Amino acid sequence: MTDVSQRHDAVLVSREGAVCCLQLNRPQNLNSVNREMIGDIRAALADAERDPSVRVVVIVGSDRAFMAGADLSLFQENLDAAPQTAAELIDGFHAMLREMRGMTTPIVAGLTGAVAGGGLGFALSCDLCVMADNARLLSAYSKIGTSPDAGTTWSLTHLLGRRRALEMMWLNDAMSAETALSLGLVNKVVPADRLRSEALDMAKRIACGPPETNRRIKALVEQACTSDFDAQLDREKAGFQQAATSEEFREGITAFFERRPARF
């Protein structure tokens, strides 16, 4: 894998074909979030979204943690200023999450070690998640006397339902990879030493597909989260009609009748 950017100190950026890999780079702090990391993630994702040669983004952490939430030392330094510190940090983090959800490029997360606090919300905002067998998901917010941010209440309630979401956020039991898989929070569980390669392999499979079609599918699924059935039927019809004018559709239909894999 070849490093292609030295601009983001808190995020290491590399490329493997059509896949752009972002590695969170504050391992000494368990990849806990500060303003610099938020800015570097946003910049790296914006670069990837603008690059037409990037078909998929992969986000990974370090061996000990994917992301352990906010850097709590930012609050400990001046507890009297905690409300303002929280507002500034959350504004940046939430802007990042909105940008992620609005991206047309698919995002695959590779989860290792601790996935806690805002790191849980961050992971659940990615499109697909591959999880190491020794990783753990943890809400952790009420342990420090605060309610969740980072879209955590939205994501957990939509994915788990009200009762399990409350249980996870009230009791703060660490969730194993096997349980996360069984509940649909992640897509695949793999041995820890294969996490990065498995996440990249999943991304490469997506990257081999039709890129505009993949983007259209992502947009439709995103809209389905808040859409009624009739409106979604109309969106699907419009999407199919638009696709029917594309070179991807022509290649897909031609390949089907020629009995060969489509070349996208």
15-46, pLDDT tens digit by residue?
A: 999 999 999 999 999 999 999 999 999 999 99
Q: Is residue 109 part of a domain?
A: yes
Q: Average of pLDDT values for 84-89? A: 90
Q: Is residue 91 part of a domain?
A: yes
Mapped onto helix, strand or coil, the DSSP state of residue 52 is coil
Q: Is residue 82 part of a domain?
A: yes
Q: 194 and 230: one domain?
A: no
Res 87: pLDDT: 92
* φ and ψ at residue 136, rounded to 5 degrees: -140, 140
Looking at the predicted structure, is the pLDDT value of residue 6 above 90?
no
Name the residue with tokens 């009297």. Answer: 80
Q: 133 and 192: one domain?
A: yes
Q: Is residue 263 part of a domain?
A: no
Q: Is residue 191 part of a domain?
A: yes
Q: 228 and 146: one domain?
A: no
Q: Is residue 262 part of a domain?
A: no
CA atoms of 56 and 234, how far apart (whole Å)? 27
CATH number at residue 177: 3.90.226.10
Res 8: pLDDT: 75
Q: 46 and 93: one domain?
A: yes
Q: State the DSSP code for 110.
A: E
Q: Is residue 253 part of a domain?
A: yes
Q: Average of pLDDT values for 136-145? A: 94
CA atoms of 104 and 60, how far apart (whole Å)? 19
Q: 139 and 228: one domain?
A: no
Q: 197 and 231: one domain?
A: no
Q: 194 and 237: one domain?
A: no
Q: Average of pLDDT values for 54-72? A: 93
pLDDT band, very low/low/confident/very high, at 258 (cuts 50, 70, 90): very high
Please, what is the Cα angle at 259 between 255 and 263, to 5 degrees?
Answer: 35
Q: 228 and 182: one domain?
A: no
Per-residue model confidence as pLDDT tens digits over 141-183: 999 999 999 999 999 999 999 999 999 999 999 999 999 999 9
Res 154: pLDDT: 95
Q: 14 and 97: one domain?
A: yes
Q: 73 and 27: one domain?
A: yes
**Which of 213, 168, 159, 222 lies closest to 186 in space, CA to CA?**
159
Q: Contact 211/192 with Cβ under 8 angstroms? A: no
Res 7: pLDDT: 57
CA atoms of 177 and 260, how far apart (whole Å)? 37
Task: Work out how many domains the chain is built from and give that number.
Answer: 2
Q: Is residue 183 part of a domain?
A: yes
pLDDT band, very low/low/confident/very high, at 82 (cuts 50, 70, 90): confident
Residues 6 or more apart whose Cβ sits within 8 Å of residue 22? 11, 12, 13, 41, 44, 45, 48, 57, 58, 59, 60
- The domain in which residue 45 lies consists of 2-207
Q: 65 and 91: one domain?
A: yes
Looking at the predicted structure, is the pLDDT value of residue 4 above 80?
no
Res 75: pLDDT: 86
Q: 179 and 84: one domain?
A: yes
Mapped onto helix, strand or coil, the DSSP state of residue 196 is helix
Res 249: pLDDT: 96
